[in-house]
Amino acid sequence: MNAPSPTLSARLAELVRKPFFWGIVAILLLLVVNLLKDPTYLAIRVNPSNGNLAGNVLDILRASAPILMVATGMSLVIATAGIDLSVGSVMAVAGAVSMEYLQNAGAPSSLGAALVAIAMSIGLGALLGTFSGLLVAKVGLQPFITTLVMMLAGRGLAKVITSGQNTTATNEQFRWMANGYVLGFPVVFLLAVAIVLVVILVVRRSALGMMIVSIGINPRASRMAGIKPAGLLVTVYALSGALAAIAGMFAVSSVMTVDVSQTGYQLEMDAILAVVVGGGTLAGGRLSMGGAAVGALLIATLDKTVVFLGVPSSATPAFKATVILILFLLQADNVRNLLRSRRPRPASLTETVETKASVAA
Amino acid sequence: MTAPEPVVRMTGISIAFPGVKALDGVDFRLLPGEVHSLMGENGAGKSTLIKALTGVYKIDAGTIEVQGTQRRFHGTADAQAAGISTVYQEVNLCTNLTIGENVMLGHEVRGPFGINWQATYRGATQALTKLGLGHLDPRRPLSSLSIALQQLVAISRAMATDSRVLILDEPTSSLDAAEVEQLFGVIRRLRDEGVAILFVSHFLDQVYAISDRVTVLRNGQYQGEFLLRDLPRAKLIATMIGKDLETLASLESTRSERAAARTGEPLLSATGIGRKGSMEPTDVEVHRGEVVGFAGLLGSGRTELARLLYGADKADSGSIAIDGRKVALTSPVAGLDNRIAFSTENRRDEGIVADLTVRDNVILAVQAKRGWARPLSRREEDEIVGKYIAALNIRPANPNMLAGNLSGGNQQKVLLGRWLATEPELLILDEPTRGIDVGAKAEIQDSVATLAADGVAVVFISSELEEVVRISDRIVVLKDRAKIGEITNGPNVTAQQVVELIAAHGDGDLPDGDDPGDNHPDGPPGSPTDRLRDGANDGAPTTEGVPAA
């Protein structure tokens, strides 16, 4: 598997075996479909006055930022064999708290006020996550039920914070997060990529990743080996909450308005789908944050494609569901075995071994 | 003896699972009006045989005759239709339903308007009365009963269909002495009605108290059928572990020269540690450089005691001191912090993390001790992993392979490496050599001897008595969840002595040796051999099938 210098075809073969390979294929196919409708779909324009890039692809990247955030947190939670249904509501809470603060702050348009709003949002998101984590790890409630309750409670909390209003605020620094550009790219996308990279680095460079996966695969063996699952679980849920809060700020900063019933609505579903597209399994024990990122990009592409193709809004969910269902079918071992057995192939020994390996993977 | 026609006759039963022959040509028969025990150590094939008889597993070869007719079971329903009922170890009832509903579940009396509840409850009362449980109100919820009574309700339910064969799989494992007696009363009553009862228990005294006959299995093979009243206990134990008494007598310690080395303060000393339902209060001491063997049959408490010493389970009585300093071992983390390591007998569920690599599995405990924020560097990892792959001869020597793809013996070595990497002062090994090939076994035994020579205290648990005798300096003998004696190993100590100690203990106070006051830390009074000679008539097999040794 780790031969000294893998040939190009061997590398390709390994890429095909990665679960998120089909996610990449799906993104490309969607782009091709869009190209068929409009040959200039992929065109990227440069705004002559400020050098900023613009075009459909940039829109997709911008839209993917919040999904990237929640999918990253979700991939960690799912790796522990848990689930976090509260991320969409936490997004609304973070949006509500930042908008409400900026509306009422002493110097609402200062950089300081923006930073305080950001800190408050992330802090509150992490706090809500910690609470879920404690209920799961210490009280022993099921993650699904715990975060389902937090999903309802979070939406309610957001409404309490804004007294049920869709609060609006003005603060150019805060807004820059969504609408600014650096090096021609939207800030929001660069921030999202940077945060994902930092999380990947921390998780992979520390022993956090190994321990999370270990708990997800075999919690009893992990406990016997001296791992304290409680602390890890709380950390993971807190991180998921904090990342959801960042996603919430991304979502509200472009319009500087929090819509307490729509901000982050059903984003937990997008995040779960992104993780599973990227190779995660709800049984836990698999962690692929890169895969989750591919999944997030796919969801964003899909959302934009639905709009671009003019799919009637009533049919949108069905369309989205169909695409994802096809993708899951392609990933399913049973279906792949079925397709493989239909395809005549030379029965050389190495290929049989490879087949087995890919089934096991 | 004019044996009546057997209700069940199984002949030449073989069942193979991928890689294992679980049953190999096993014969078994059940006579009406008799209690028949099935005995054997772990992996002997007891459960497999029961599952063959209850239609859970399909048999690969052999025949099953029920009341003279040959049958093929294609599921549990077939077996039940043939009059074979089973009560499993974990009570399989619905605690949220009433007693009567549980008894009659699936056999409700139907009237023109659906279920006739009055008649159904009458039927339930009849079924309960048959077992002397007429005082129970069938309309009360099952959850209001104790586990023991629930067990009896489960038997009523099994007998509600007028079964001719009743299989009881470890029915006493969660009952206390009085409850066991109550259960035995019910069993005797059914036996007297002519029901054939298959009783599975690892409590030797209970087997002797209730059974007429015993069939012994070992490694999936039939070892013989015996009349219990003709069978001395030592002989039964010897048959279960697959050695005759002469062989056991010749197995001597190879560590005699070390026996005297134990002086001064013990590294760990446990006083009266116990846990309700799993271990009676027990004293144990372990010295540096000493190998202490825990010997006892399955269910004797050898694993339970080891778990208390590590903190895998929390003791609810007694105390543990390390180097004279009291410590609270409330969790595995506490055990590791006190430089204790525990390698579990349950490799698959509590040991190996199958989908992690060999590398991650080896460093897991070390890393857990350091905390996630202080990861080992790649170089440190390579050093540790390389060291133990070489020292323990782990094959294939590829640290990046998934641990789940290794053979059992090599997984065991990976686990040993995991614990050695934490540099423990006390290493507890629970069945480190079970289910692994001879070569790997010898390598692990050698590692244990080397560790002890380096000053590590080792607790060694194995169901293979000869292994315990060979490498231990001292043997703690356990039976029925209590320590019954301790043997300082030496040139004259043999596996036979351990067997006799287990066999002799509790011989008098039937039906069970669960009595906490029955704890003789220094062994039972009198020579065990004397007792053995009392029952000297050789337990001759009662079947034509001579035990295949």
Q: Domain for residue A361, yes or no?
A: no
C-beta atoms of B368 and A213 within 8 A: no
Domains in chain B: ranges and CATH: 1-83+163-171+195-250+533-549 (3.40.50.300), 90-162 (no CATH), 252-339+424-493 (3.40.50.300), 359-423 (no CATH)
DSSP secondary structure code for residue B541 in this structure? B
For residue A355, the model assigns a pLDDT of 37
**Of B474, B444, B470, the residue nearest B459 (C-alpha):** B474
Check: CB of residue A264 under 8 Å from CB of residue A195: no
Query: Region B473-495: what's the mean pLDDT?
Result: 85
pLDDT at B108: 85
Could you tell me if B168 and B87 are in contact, meaning their C-beta atoms sit under 8 angstroms apart?
yes
Does A143 reside within a domain?
A: yes
Asked if A324 and A247 sit in the same domain, the reply is: no
A211/B355 CB distance under 8 A:
no
Q: Does B332 touch chain A (CB under 8 A)?
A: yes
Q: Which helix (H) or strand (E) holds B250?
A: helix B245-250
Q: Provide the token pair at B426.
A: 């006390």
Give yes or no for a contact between B255 and B289, defined as CB atoms under 8 angstroms apart.
no
Claim to verify: residue A154 and residue A84 sit in the same structural domain: yes
A75 occurs within a structural domain: yes
Considering chain B, what percentage of its residues have pLDDT values greater than 70? 85
A17 vs A244, which has greater pLDDT?
A244
A322 and A186 in a common domain: no
Q: pLDDT confidence of B433, banded at 50, 70, 90?
A: confident
Position B424 scores a pLDDT of 94
Same domain? A146 vs A227:
yes
Rounded average pLDDT over B109-127: 88
Based on the fold, state whether residues A134 and A158 are members of the same structural domain: yes
Give the integer Cα–Cα distance in Å for B183 and B163.
Answer: 18
Q: How confident is the model at residue B36 (pLDDT cuts 50, 70, 90)?
A: very high
Cα distance between the two ends of chain A? 12
Average pLDDT over residues B124-130: 88
Taking residues A275-298, report their average pLDDT: 90
Do A65 and A209 share a domain, yes or no?
yes
CB nearest to A226's CB, from B349, B352, B369: B369
* Predicted local distance difference test score (pLDDT) of residue A297: 95
Q: Are residues A113 and A243 in the same domain?
A: yes
What's the 3-state SS for B404-465?
A: HHCCHHHHHHHHHHHHHCCCCCEEEEECCCCCCCHHHHHHHHHHHHHHHHCCCEEEEECCCH
A151 pLDDT above the threshold of 90: yes
- Biggest CA–CA distance in chain A, Å, is 75
In whole angstroms, what is the distance from residue B136 CA to residue A361 CA?
55
B260 confidence band (pLDDT: 50, 70, 90)? very low
Task: For residue A51, tell me if it sits in a domain.
Answer: no
Using an 8 Å CB-CB cutoff, list chain A residues near B369: 226
Q: Do A211 and B372 touch (CB under 8 A)?
A: yes
User: Which residues in chain A are closer than 8 Å to B312, comparing Cβ atoms?
Assistant: 224
Q: How many domains, in total, are found in chain A? A: 2
Least confident of A114-128, B415-429, B436-450: B436-450
Per-residue pLDDT at A334? 77
Q: Which helix (H) or strand (E) holds B155?
A: helix B147-159
Q: Does residue A3 belong to any structural domain of this protein?
A: no
Q: Which of B57, B142, B61 is nearest to B102 (CA)?
A: B142
What mean pLDDT value characterizes chain A?
Answer: 87
Euclidean distance between CA atoms A144 and A274, whole angstroms:
18
pLDDT band, very low/low/confident/very high, at A5 (cuts 50, 70, 90) = low
Take residue B123 and report the two structure tokens written for it.
């039927």
**Greater pLDDT, A46 or B549:** A46
Number of Cβ pairs < 8 A linking chain A and chain B: 75
pLDDT grade for B265, boundaries at 50, 70 and 90: confident
User: Does residue A21 sit within a domain?
Assistant: no
pLDDT bucket at B247, cuts 50 / 70 / 90: low
A11 domain residue, yes or no: no
Strand order in the sheet with B8-17: B20-30, B8-17, B61-66, B69-71
For the domain that residue A164 is a member of, what is the CATH number? 1.10.3470
Q: Would you list which residues of chain A are within 8 Å, Cβ to Cβ, of chain B?
A: 1-2, 205-208, 210-211, 213-214, 217-218, 220-228, 232, 285-286
Has this prediction a pTM greater than 0.90?
A: no
What is the pLDDT, as a whole number, of residue B438? 67
Domain containing residue A342: 311-348
pLDDT for residue A343: 58
Q: Which band of pLDDT confidence, cut at 50, 70 and 90, is reported for residue B432?
A: confident
Residue-level pLDDT at A360: 39
Give the range among A67-71, A207-211, B15-19, B64-68 with minimum mean pLDDT: B15-19
DSSP letter (8 states) at residue B3: P
C-alpha A167/C-alpha A174 separation (Å) is 15
Which chain A residues are closer than 8 Å to B353 by Cβ? 214, 217-218, 221-222, 225
> Using the beta-carbon criterion (under 8 Å), do B375 and A207 form an inter-chain contact?
yes
Q: Are A191 and A202 in contact (CB under 8 A)?
A: no
Are A188 and A318 found together in one domain?
A: no
SS3 B313: coil
* Tokens 């308005």, residue located: A257
- Residue from B316, B107, B239, B335 nearest B541 by CA: B239
Least Cα separation, residue A206 to chain B (angstroms)? 5
CB atoms A225 and B355 under 8 Å: no
ipTM > 0.90, yes or no? no
Report the alpha-carbon distance of residue B370 to residue B496 in Å, rounded: 46
Interface contact A224-B350, CB threshold 8 A? yes
Coil, strand or helix: which one is A334? Answer: helix
Residue A297: DSSP 8-state: H
**Residue B548's pLDDT band (cuts 50, 70, 90):** very low
Say yes or no: A70 and A157 in one domain: yes
In sequence order, the 6+-apart residues with CB closer than 8 A to the CB of B2 are: none
Q: What is the pLDDT of residue B463?
A: 79
Q: Identify the band that residue A356 occupies on the pLDDT scale cut at 50, 70 and 90.
A: very low
Question: How far is Cα B172 from Cα B184, in angstroms, rounded to an integer?
Answer: 10
pLDDT per position as a tens digit, A176-196 = 988 888 888 899 999 999 999
Integer Rg of chain B from CA:
25
- A138 in any annotated domain: yes
Is the same domain home to A297 and A335? no
What's the pLDDT tens digit per position in B134-150?
888 889 998 888 877 88
Tens-digit pLDDT profile for residues A327-353: 778 777 777 777 777 655 444 444 333
- The DSSP result for B182-204, as a single string, is HHHHHHHHHHHTT-EEEEE-S-H
Domain identity same for A235 and A208: yes
The top-scoring range by mean pLDDT among A128-137, A255-264, B487-496 is A128-137
> Which conformational region is residue B219 in: left (phi greater than 0), alpha (psi within -120 to 50 degrees), or beta?
left
Verify that A229 and A334 share a domain, yes or no: no
**Nearest residue on chain A to B373, judged by CA atoms?**
A206
Pair of tokens at residue A130: 């910690």
